[in-house]
Amino acid sequence: MNERGNFVKQTLERILHFPIEVVHFVGIGGSSMSGLASILLENHIPVTGSDMQDSLYMHKLKERGAKVFVGHSGDQIPTNASLVVYTAAISKDNPELLQAAQLGIPMMERADFLGVLTRAYPKTVAVAGTHGKTTSSSLIATLLYEGGLDPTVSVGGVVSTFGKNYRVGSGEYFVTEACEYVDSFLKSTHHIGIILNLEHEHVDYFKDLDQVKDSFRRFAEIVPADGFLIVNGDSPDVLDAIDDLDRKVLRTGLEPGNDYQATDIRYDDFGKPTFKVLRKGVFWQEFTLNIPGEHNVRNALAAIACADLCGTDPERMAASLKTFSGAGRRFEHKGTAQGITVVEDYAHHPTEVAVTIQACKNYKANRLIVVFQPHTFSRTYHFFDQLVEALGGADHLIVSDIYSDREKNTYPLQQEDLANAVRDRFSIPSVHLSDFAAMEDAVAELAQPGDFVLIAGAGTINKIIPGILEKLNNKTF
């Protein structure tokens, strides 16, 4: 075991007050859980786990030496397990949790375990915000890695720089997403805290914007006196949340007065921006991104500020950003078939949908065809009008059934309501389809050379992409 691996194991044992032999993950196939499990594996800590569905993450874990199972059963818990880690989506009557309780094995929710892991690194960088966490975390990880700081990384998507959703380094930095849902990010111990933006979101937990602000303030208060906060200086809500907070703060944004300000933004034919950065009001460096949209200029500013704070050379940053191709499911180019471009994005909140559609509009294309999967009944109901407004930027719209893996529909909401409302308000072709195969057929029939197809949503809608590309390639024009 290398020096860092020994340190991680010893730190976990010191914090938890018991020896770590085997860690079992219930829900191991998720993007965050699989990354955490992989970090332990590369630190030579044995891992087992289970998930209800097989996945690429599961196969990768097997290749790395984990023993994983499809489906949940009490007999899958190793008798020598030191700890069981489970996701928030796992019910308390899960057979593996019941078995762990019977065996007296300590159990810990994912956010708590991530919080423990952040304490194993002296300079954790925690990236918070309603939107953009995965992309910004991936950007920071890339800049620190290519700047020679050798970070450990755990993010919610595949980072193009590494080809996976995690990285184990020997340096003192640990870069991770800090999710606000159920206040998970308050379990983190971070030296640098980043707040990208702040909106009322996760309405099944946060009752209003004031509660969200209160949570983000408590996240900011975790930063120690010798640490730093990097915040969106263009957001009145973010600034309100940290008002009068006694911490070192760096502000980023497009408006004058920010410590890092992007100016002179221009886009190429593929919607990719070039911009100048003023540091403390003085020209500092020009950057070109390989990912599109103004929202990614803002994400990049936070990453640039963080990397500069950590001592990375600006010219090195510029070279890294020019080649960084994004994170998985974040404006990810999935293929071009007969002149038709297909892109996938994780957008599910109306703000995310709006900025993603705007990024598509910066791309030189004939028409924008959007396939959207609403995510959770509560979000669709509470943000219905905002979703309608955001989706109105499409030229053609296909809306799937609402994806909701954690709640039932207790709202006066029908599956076809969103598509009907967009059609009525904007007079654009807009349909609701429940069947994935029917969606593939609809896109293949509609799309023409020069069109741009956006597949958007945080659920399972990406499953239609291979079928769409196959049918487009087989189409005769």
Which residues, in sequence order, are CB contacts of 343 under 8 Å at separation 6+?
331, 332, 333, 334, 360, 452, 453, 454, 455
The closest of 360, 370, 423 to 400, measured between CA atoms, is 370
* 176 known member of a binding site: no
Residue 30 marked as a ligand binder: no
SS3 assignment, position 51 = strand
Annotated binding residue at 161? Answer: no
Place of tokens 């009944």: 377
Is 3 annotated in the active site? Answer: no
Catalytic one of 9, 124, 133, 332? 133
Q: What angle do CA 337, 341, 343 make, to 5 degrees?
A: 120
User: 134, 152, 176, 341: which is the annotated catalytic residue?
Assistant: 134
E strand or H helix that includes residue 314: helix 314-323
**Residue 130 marked as a ligand binder:** yes
Dihedral over alpha carbons 28, 33, 38, 39 (to 10 degrees): -150
Helix (H, G, I), strand (E, B) or coil at 359: helix
Tell whether 72 is in a known binding site.
no
Residue with tokens 């921006």: 273
- How many helices (H) and strands (E) are present in the chain, helices listed first? 16, 21
Residue 334 assigned ligand-binding role: no
- Lookup: tokens for 209: 């914007």
Paired strand residues for 476: none
- DSSP classification of residue 271: S
Half-sphere exposure of 268 (CA within 13 A, CB side): 9
Q: Report the alpha-carbon distance of residue 427 to residue 406 in Å, rounded.
A: 33
Question: Among residues 42, 96, 146, 177, which one is catalytic?
Answer: 177
The side-by-side arrangement of strands in the sheet containing 452-456 is: 332-337, 340-345, 452-456, 368-372, 396-399, 430-432
Catalytic residue check, 177: yes
CA 108/CA 114 separation, integer angstroms = 10
**CA atoms of 434 and 33, how far apart (whole Å):** 30
DSSP state of 410: -
Would you call 118 a catalytic residue per the annotation? no
Q: Is 288 annotated as a binding residue?
A: no
C-alpha distances (whole Å) from 274 to each of 142, 254, 477 are 18, 13, 36
Residue 237: which residues within 8 A CB-CB, separation 6 or more? 198, 199, 209, 213
In angstroms, rounded to a whole number, what is the distance separating the alpha carbons of residues 118 and 128? 14
Q: Which residues contribute to the annotated binding site for ATP? A: 129-135
Residues with a catalytic annotation lie at 133-134, 177
